[in-house]
Amino acid sequence: MQLDSTSIKIKQFNFAEGELLLVNKPYTWTSFDVVGKLRNSFKPLKLKVGHAGTLDPLATGLLIICTGKMTKQIDTFQAEEKEYTGTLVLGATTPSYDMETEVNEKFDTSNLTADQIRNACKRFIGDIQQYPPAHSAVKIDGERLYEKARRGEEVERRLRNVTISEFEITRVELPEVDFRIVCSKGTYIRSLVHDFGKALNNGAYLSKLTRTRSGSYHVDDAWEVMELVDVIKAESKSQRLKAKHKFIISLKLCAFGFKLQNEDLPPH
């Protein structure tokens, strides 16, 4: 059973009191899908569940989930520095800057050298200004940018100040380029990749992205979603069982003249 292989990760959970959970977001899931799935697994308990730092559906990797009172600290986790690894494709651009939309422009990459590519990324290290992609969840006038973009509307985007503390190229096999980046909160990797393509007098879009770290939390320590769902269910089942046992004991004690107290009642 799943539970046995992962039981080493299990400590004493208290989801209602507040837990911080590290989850590896699956490919194509939205960050909200993950939250929804977990929230469901707590049923019939109704728990507050939230996430810090949205990942695009096509990205994978570390998603920080907070339950119960821990949700109050989401902003703190959100503000942490992030590390990503990913792959970008040179020689083409897409409107969404990733693979969600089709290629709209192509460029010749035959003259690009690995040195040029490595040198260009140095220019992005430091405090930089970037536009959120037109296909992004940023809200303008109460509407998300991607909603306007899908209608084909021109969207006014505002530059935001972000800090790139590390940016390195780890593999060049044109048109693919692997990279690793450490950046401040709110950095759009898609935008960075798009600008990076322009810096090479070329085009680029993001084809793969994994968040490996957020603050001091690492994806290596993260749960797979289904794994965690099993644990949650098992945990709450055992808690229900414990409560049931406690209730039975209380009933027995009752028979000896002890008064039954509210907390002795079993949950549902």
Binding residues for other proteins (CB under 8 A) = 120, 123-124, 127-131, 159, 195, 198-199
Q: What does each C-alpha distance from 97 to 75, 191, 268 come to in angstroms? A: 27, 7, 49
Please say which residue, 76 or 129, places its beta carbon nearer to other proteins: 129
Largest Cα separation within the chain, whole Å, is 90
User: What minimum distance in Å lies between the beta carbon of 157 and other proteins?
Assistant: 11
Give the closest residue to 98 by CA, choosing from 188, 205, 211: 205
| 35/128 with CB nearer other proteins | 128
Active site residue 56: yes
Pairing relationship of beta strands 59-67 and 49-52 according to DSSP bridges: antiparallel
Mention every residue, 6+ apart, whose C-beta is less than 8 A from residue 46: none
CB of 92 to other proteins, least distance (A): 17
Q: Is the CA virtual torsion 174, 175, 178, 183 positive or negative?
A: positive
Distance of CA 210 to the CA centre of its chain: 9
Q: How far is the CB of 209 from other proteins (least distance, A)?
A: 20
**Toward other proteins, which CB reaches closer, 159 or 254?**
159
CA-nearest of 127, 123, 119, 204 to 169 is: 119
Q: Out of 4, 33, 56, 127, which one is annotated catalytic?
A: 56
Which amino acid makes up residue 48? K
The residue (of 7 and 129) whose beta carbon lies closer to other proteins is 129
Cα 268 to Cα 264: distance, rounded to the nearest angstrom? 12
The owner of tokens 């002890």 is: 258
Q: How far is the CB of 240 from other proteins (least distance, A)?
A: 55
What is the enclosing helix (H) or strand (E) of 252? helix 225-255
Element (H, E) at 262: none
In the complex, least distance from residue 33 CB atom to other proteins, rounded to whole angstroms: 33
Choice between 116 and 207, CB closer to other proteins: 116
Sign of CA dihedral 85, 86, 91, 93: negative
Residue 94 or residue 191: which is nearer to other proteins going by CB? 191
Min dist CB 38 to other proteins, Å, is 38
Beta-bridged to residue 88, according to DSSP, are: 177, 206
| Catalytic positions, written as ranges | 56
